[in-house]
C-alpha cells in the first residue's frame, strides 16, 4: 500500500532581541560622583580622628594583631560553614534515597602484609555482608608471618549471610600495596570492585548502599566512611572525632560536588572501567589512594561519598605511631600533588582536577602553616601586650565551632555522643600537633629526604557485630 509523503512548512522567526540602550557618558559621571563622595567621607574621617589617635609601634602591632585575629576567624567560619552546609545537603539527598534490585557482581580485594593478627576478623566481617552477589579475593603480598597459612585455611566457598561466598587467595612476592591491589583487580572478572585494607571490617550494608550510586553511568568510584574501631582510649577517641569531623564531614561536602579528593584506603568501590582509564594503582607515591583518585577525576569520572558504607579500622594507640602515620600521609599527598601539578595551572585539562588539587594544596600546605603561625603569634602577643582576654575569647570561639561541627557529625552518623566533649581540645591541641607534623613532613618532602613506607603494628580487636557496628572487647587493649 503506497504511502503519501506529507510535507510541512516551518516558518522560522529570525528576530533578534535588541540589547537595552546605555548612556555611557551618564554612567561615567555617576561613577565619578559616587566615588568622589566616598573619598571625601574617608578623608574627613581620617582628618577628624588623627588628633585623637596616639600612634605608637606597640599600638600598631596590637591593632594589627586584632585585625589578623578577626580575619583568621572569618576564614575559619567560611571554611566551617561552607563544609557544613554542603555536607548537610549531600547527606539529606542520598541517605533518604533508596535503590532496590540493583545487585551486580562485586569482587572485594583484600591486600594483606603481615596481617595474621586481624585477617580472620576481617574476613568474618566480609562474610557477614548483606549482599547476594560477591566474592572475596585475598592478596598476600609476601607476608613473613602466618598470614599465608590463615588465608589458605579460609580459601573455598564459605557460608555468608545470604549464601555461599567464594574466597580466593593470591600469593605473590612483596612489591607493595598498590601492586597487590592491581593483582586482585586484574584477577577479578567483576565489573565492580571494592578495595580495602587487610585490617578493616565492613558493616553488613556496605555493598548494598555503596553500589547503588553506580546506577549513574558517570560515577566512577564511591568513597566509603572510615571509623575508628579501637576506642575507649584518649588518643583513639580523639582520632574517632577527627575521622567524623575532619575527614568524613569534608567528604560529604565533596560528595555534594561529586568531586571527592581522596578515596580512603580502608574502603573504596570502583567501576573497573574507571580503573582501566586511570591506569590502576601506582607505586610512585606514598598515598596511592590519593594518586588514583586524582587520575580518575582527570578522566572526567565523578566520585561520590556514601556515609553508610562503613569500614572500621584500627587507629594508632601511641603518639609516635600517630605522628608517623600522618607524616606518611602528608608526604604521600604532596607527592600526588606534585605528580599532577600540571592540572594546578591548566584547568582546561580537567577543571574538576584543578579545583580538587588547589583544595588539597591549601589543606596540605597553606592551612597547617597558617594554623601554627596564628597560634604562636597570638600567644606571643598575649604575653607581651596583655591581650590574654582576646586569646581566651579566640579559643572559646574556635571551641564552639568545633562543638557545633561535632554535634552535627555525631547526629548525622548516629555516633557516640561522648565524643563531643573532646571537641573542646580537638583543634587547640590535637590538630595543632598534627599540623606541626604536616609542616615538618612538607619541609622534608621538598628537601628530598628519603623515607620508608612503615607499617602500623596491629594489636587485633576481636569483636562481633551488633546493630551493624563491631563491638570491641578487651583483647589487645591496654
Q: Scanning the structure block, which residue is given the C-alpha cell 602484609?
A: 113
Grid coordinates belonging to 55:
600612634
Gap between the Cα atoms of 277 and 293, Å rounded: 12
Grid coordinates belonging to 113:
602484609
Output the tens digit of pLDDT for each of the chain's 478 residues.
444 455 444 444 444 445 556 577 777 788 888 888 988 888 888 777 767 666 666 666 666 666 766 777 777 778 778 888 888 888 777 655 666 678 899 999 999 998 888 888 888 889 999 999 999 999 999 888 888 898 898 899 988 888 899 999 999 888 888 889 999 999 998 999 999 988 888 999 999 989 999 998 999 999 999 999 888 899 999 999 999 988 888 888 888 887 888 899 899 999 999 999 988 998 888 888 888 998 998 888 999 998 889 999 888 999 999 999 999 998 888 888 888 888 777 777 677 778 888 888 888 888 888 888 877 877 777 777 666 676 777 778 778 888 888 898 888 888 999 999 998 888 888 988 998 999 898 888 888 877 765 555 555 554 433 333 443 332 222 2
For residue 201, what are the β-bridge partners?
312
Grid coordinates belonging to 281:
594503582
Cβ atoms within 10 A of the Cβ of 307, count? 22
Which helix (H) or strand (E) is 52 found in, with range?
Answer: none
Q: Scanning the structure block, which residue is given the C-alpha cell 601492586?
A: 179
**Is 192:106 a contact under the CB 8 Å cutoff?**
yes
Gap between the Cα atoms of 474 and 168, Å rounded: 31
The structure's pTM equals: 0.76
Domains of the chain: 80-365+453-472 (3.90.550.10)
Gap between the Cα atoms of 289 and 448, Å rounded: 21
Which helix (H) or strand (E) is 211 found in, with range?
Answer: helix 206-211
Q: Which of 350, 461, 359 is nearest to 83 (CA)?
A: 359
Grid coordinates belonging to 168:
580466593
Gap between the Cα atoms of 477 and 235, Å rounded: 13
Spell out the alpha helix ranges (H) of 95-157. 119-127, 147-154
Gap between the Cα atoms of 465 and 169, Å rounded: 25
Which helix (H) or strand (E) is 422 found in, with range?
Answer: none
Q: Which of 250, 213, 222 is nearest to 408 (CA)?
A: 250
What is the DSSP secondary structure assignment for residue 206, as one 8-state letter?
H
CA 239 to mean position of chain CA atoms: 14
Gap between the Cα atoms of 364 and 375, Å rounded: 18
pLDDT at residue number 62: 64
Q: What is the chain's Cα-based Rg?
A: 28
Gap between the Cα atoms of 117 and 455, Å rounded: 14
pLDDT at residue number 452: 67
114-135: burial string, b at 16+ Cβ within 10 Å, e else: bbbbbbbbbbbbbbbbebeebb
Strands (E) across 300-416 are located at: 302-313
The full DSSP string for 350-375 is -HHHHHHHHHHHIIIIIHHHHHHHHH
Q: Which of 328, 186, 154, 387 is nearest to 270 (CA)?
A: 186
CA distances, 376 to each of 22, 182, 183, 379 (Å) = 54, 45, 48, 5
206-218: burial string, b at 16+ Cβ within 10 Å, e else: bbbbbbbbbeeee
pLDDT at residue number 207: 93
Helix (H, G, I), strand (E, B) or coil at 402: helix
Gap between the Cα atoms of 418 and 432, Å rounded: 22
Amino acid at each position: 500500500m503506497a504511502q503519501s509523503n506529507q510535507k510541512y512548512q516551518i516558518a522560522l522567526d529570525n528576530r533578534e532581541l535588541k540589547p537595552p540602550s546605555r548612556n555611557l557618558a551618564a554612567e561615567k559621571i555617576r561613577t565619578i560622583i559616587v566615588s568622589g563622595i566616598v573619598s571625601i567621607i574617608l578623608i574627613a574621617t581620617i582628618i577628624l580622628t588623627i588628633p585623637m589617635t596616639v600612634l605608637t609601634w606597640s599600638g600598631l602591632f596590637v591593632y594589627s594583631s586584632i585585625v589578623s585575629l578577626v580575619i583568621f576567624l572569618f576564614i575559619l567560619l567560611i571554611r566551617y560553614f561552607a563544609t557544613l552546609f554542603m555536607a548537610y545537603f549531600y547527606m539529606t539527598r542520598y541517605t533518604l534515597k533508596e535503590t532496590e534490585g540493583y545487585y551486580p557482581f562485586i569482587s572485594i580485594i583484600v591486600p594483606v602484609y603481615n596481617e595474621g593478627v586481624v585477617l580472620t576478623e576481617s574476613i568474618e566481617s566480609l562474610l557477614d555482608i548483606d549482599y547476594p552477589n560477591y566474592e572475596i579475593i585475598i592478596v598476600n603480598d609476601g607476608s613473613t608471618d602466618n598470614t599465608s597459612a590463615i588465608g589458605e585455611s579460609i580459601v573455598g566457598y564459605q557460608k555468608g549471610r545470604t549464601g555461599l561466598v567464594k574466597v580466593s587467595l593470591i600469593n605473590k612476592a612483596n612489591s607493595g600495596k598498590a601492586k597487590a591491589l592491581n593483582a586482585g583487580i586484574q584477577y577479578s572478572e567483576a565489573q565492580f570492585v571494592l578495595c580495602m585494607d587487610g585490617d578493616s571490617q565492613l558493616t553488613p550494608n556496605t555493598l548494598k548502599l555503596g553500589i547503588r550510586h553506580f546506577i549513574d553511568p558517570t560515577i566512577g568510584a564511591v568513597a566509603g566512611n572510615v571509623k575508628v574501631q579501637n576506642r575507649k582510649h584518649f588518643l583513639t577517641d580523639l582520632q574517632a572525632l577527627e575521622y567524623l569531623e575532619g575527614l568524613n564531614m569534608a567528604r560529604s561536602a565533596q560528595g555534594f560536588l561529586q568531586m571527592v579528593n581522596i578515596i580512603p584506603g580502608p574502603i573504596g568501590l570502583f567501576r573497573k572501567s574507571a580503573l582501566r582509564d586511570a591506569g590502576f594503582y601506582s607505586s610512585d607515591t606514598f598515598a596511592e589512594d590519593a594518586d588514583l583518585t586524582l587520575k580518575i577525576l582527570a578522566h572526567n569520572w565523578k566520585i561520590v561519598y556514601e556515609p553508610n558504607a562503613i569500614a572500621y579500622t584500627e587507629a594508632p594507640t601511641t603518639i609516635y605511631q600517630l605522628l608517623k602515620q600522618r607524616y606518611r600521609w602528608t608526604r604521600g599527598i604532596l607527592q600526588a600533588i606534585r605528580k599532577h601539578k600540571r592540572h594546578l595551572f591548566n584547568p582546561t585539562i580537567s577543571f574538576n582536577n584543578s579545583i580538587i588539587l588547589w583544595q588539597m594544596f591549601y589543606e596540605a600546605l597553606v592551612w597547617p602553616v597558617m594554623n601554627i603561625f596564628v597560634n604562636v603569634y597570638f600567644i606571643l602577643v598575649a604575653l607581651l601586650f596583655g591581650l590574654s582576654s582576646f586569646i581566651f575569647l579566640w579559643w572559646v570561639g574556635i571551641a564552639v565551632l568545633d562543638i557545633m561541627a561535632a554535634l552535627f557529625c555525631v547526629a548525622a552518623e548516629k555516633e557516640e555522643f561522648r565524643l563531643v566533649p573532646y571537641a573542646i581540645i580537638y583543634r587547640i591541641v590535637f590538630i595543632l600537633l598534627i599540623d606541626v607534623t604536616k609542616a615538618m613532613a612538607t619541609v622534608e618532602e621538598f628537601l628530598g629526604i628519603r623515607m620508608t613506607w612503615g607499617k602500623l603494628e596491629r594489636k587485633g580487636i576481636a569483636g562481633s557485630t551488633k546493630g551493624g557496628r563491631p563491638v570491641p572487647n578487651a583483647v589487645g587493649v591496654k
